[in-house]
Each structure stands twice: as structure tokens, then as C-alpha cells.
Structure 1
């Protein structure tokens, strides 16, 4: 098992600062956020994120990305694209970039039910998108990742398995995101991982807790999710690592911690120490 950080969760750092810091802390890899930038007065996770490579003109930056990453000894387990399979030109751009960089996987953003569609209609169309993506991923010799994500057609392992069933797991895989499933799509982790089987290709970690968001006039309570430190959320990470070991998973775990209780550098250092301990306790040999 190896650990990486998704740079969507490191908005304060430039790419050079990100790889230097992560390598010095002992992380094995970095998962780059790739999307056209949104300007902001100060860096946030979604806007003004400095550790982001622009999607437009990505081809001209690949040598820089490769040199910057590999010179620090870090690996790239996947590329994180804010692109759906329906954005055909950009989807192919991402697959091509992964092939050039020697990165085996590309994570794609999910889609939701459009106005006027039924869920079944949307799901059937989305299956067609992934059949196209499977063909393109095969041509580039990489794997496209379907992420479990709330507010998408595939928030759960069950839905994801149904979508990708019959596609080639060498070129289509599922990314299990524990934090996202807390918000929607929760299934017992051991059962979810077992269900995904050969399609389980990658893992993301963050954590979530629900907080009281308001009280309606009739006294009904409204609750809302909030990103919290890894130890503090609804998902119990020690149990999750035991489930990963039980499923025989030996791949990458990428952290995208969107909590802000600790300063960024302290947060990444503490997360690696915590997760390394959990992995060892679950029987993993980290070297």
C-alpha cells in the first residue's frame, strides 16, 4: 500500500511547494488536480487553488509536470480531472496526458440526472458514455476511474458495479471514496469492497460529520455534512483499513482532506502518520 495526496486539498501550495513538502514528509505520491482555474482573492479548495494544472493547454505542460514530480521521487497514482465522459474532447485529452506521463489511471467526474430525465434514462445514457470511455482508455493503455460521489448517478458501490458490469476492468475501474459515501451511498465498507471486486482500482480518503444546520418553523431539524479531520467523522478509518486488507487491496490510498482545523503542512504530516499506523495495524507492510 502506498499513500498520496490529491492537490485539490492543498490550495495554499504551488505545485513545486506541494511536491517538495509531500516528499519531505514521506508521502509516496501526488495526485494532481487538473482543471481550468477559477480566480479567487485567496486560495480555497475549489477556487484560487494554486496546486492545480490548467486543463486548457495541458499538453504543453506535461514535461514540466513529469520533471517536477519525478525529481522529488514522488509517483503519480492517478490524474484528477474535473471532466465527465460526456466531454469527449477533454476526456480524451486526459487519457492522452496520462499515457504520456506514464500514469495508469484518470479519475473522471460523475454526472447527475438532468431536468426532464428519469434516473433510469440518465443511467442508460451514462452507461453509453462509459462504453465509449472504455474504448478510448483501451487505445491509450490506461484505466478510467468512476468515483463514488454524492449527487451523482453512482454514489454507492452497488450503483457503480451496475454501471460498469461487463466492461473491461483493465480499462475501467471504480474509485471508492469513503467520505463521499458518508453523505450519500453508504454501504458497509467490507460489503462494498467485496461487491466491487475486480473493479476496485483506487481509494480516496476524507471524512465527514453531520451538523445541525437549522430548525424549521414546525421544529423539524435540518442537518448538513461538513468535512472534518480524518479521526473525527462518521467513517471509522481503523475498520475501513481492516476491510481493505480483507478485500486484498494493495493499491494506492489518496488523501483529500478538506478539513481546516489544522494548518495545511501540519495536517498532511499528521494524516500520513495516522494512516500509516492504521495500515500497519491492519497487517500491511509499508517497508
Structure 2
């Protein structure tokens, strides 16, 4: 069995420290968090969602991605995924994330689906998601990075069957 670690679980480690720890633990792959750190969080202790030292900043990915790629390579780990926090329909941010994933050497990337808050009907959100994912599919083919939909309780894809419906 192959195992990977998502860097959101290791906020206190740098990319190199995580790759070293993953190697020591026998974890083959790394799923890199792709999210900026708010300026006011930089003085805080490391934390999962705000000051995660193992995050690639979308605004600085071109400068940062090589260090994360090389950390994985140095410790003979594989960059399995880039894990951005994309909004459904944001094609510019999605393409930028695909570029970063390709440069990182990631084989998969999480893409956005609409959240569900009962303000917009499910059929409308479904329509938006299917349109977005058809564009995503073309980008995934172009960048040779598989797009994946996360099952999450606060989206229109809280189960495997609903996620599957989106990508049929």
C-alpha cells in the first residue's frame, strides 16, 4: 500500500522537513497545500489553516514550487497532489494552479465545486459545476494533471455518488 501525507496536517514543518519526516515514516507521497498565508498570521505559531509553513502561496508559486519539488526529490518522495482551494468557475485561478501542479510534478490536483448553503438551488449549482468541470477537463488534459473532486460535507458533492455524478 502507498501512503501520502497532506501538508495541512504538518503546519510546523517546512517542505524539506516534511519530506525528510515522510521518508523516515515510510510515506511515499506528499499532497502539497496551495494557499497563501495571511500577513497577520506570519507572527503566529504555526497552525493548520492560517500559518502553515508547508504551503505553496498561489501569488508566489513560480518562486516557491521548485523548493517543494526539490525537497520531495531530495528525500525520494513523490509529489502526489497539489491541493488548492479553488472556487467553482474561477478558470484563471484553476489554470494557474494547473501550471503550478505541472511544475511541481504532481499527478493530481483538487478542483473546486460549489458550496451548498441553501441560498442557490442544487440544480443551479449542479449546472455551474458541470460547466466548470468541462473546462477543467480540457485544462487537465493540456497540463497532464488529473483533476479530482473532493467529497466534502459543505459542498454539492458530500458523497462519492454525488461527486461521480458531477464528472460523468
- Structure 1 length as normaliser, TM-score? 0.54
C-alpha deviations, 1:95-146, integer Å up to 9, x for none? 1122223221101243213664211111111110101111111111221110
- Structure 2 length as normaliser, TM-score? 0.90
SS of the residue 2:3 aligns to: strand
* RMSD (Å), alpha carbons: 1.6
User: Residue 3 of structure 1 corresponds to which residue in structure 2?
Assistant: 3
SS of the residue 1:77 aligns to: strand
Matched, 1:98 2:92: no
Matched, 1:156 2:156: no
Q: Could you tell me how far apart the structure 2 residues matched to 1:18 and 1:109 are? A: 26
Looking at CA atoms only, which structure, 1 or 2, has the larger radius of gyration?
1
Paired residue total: 165
Q: Could you tell me how far apart the structure 2 residues matched to 1:3 and 1:35 are? A: 23
Matched, 1:135 2:152: no
User: Residue 50 of structure 2 corresponds to which residue in structure 1?
Assistant: 47
Q: Which has the higher helix share?
A: 2
User: Residue 59 of structure 1 corresponds to which residue in structure 2?
Assistant: 62
5+ residue gaps in structure 1? 166-287
C-alpha deviations, 1:71-110, integer Å up to 9, x for none? 1111111111112342211110111122223221101243
Q: Could you tell me how far apart the structure 2 residues matched to 1:43 and 1:117 are? A: 36
**CA drift at 1:62:** 2.4
Q: Which has the higher strand share?
A: 1
Task: Say whether the 8 Å CA contact 1:78–1:106 is kept in structure 2.
Answer: yes
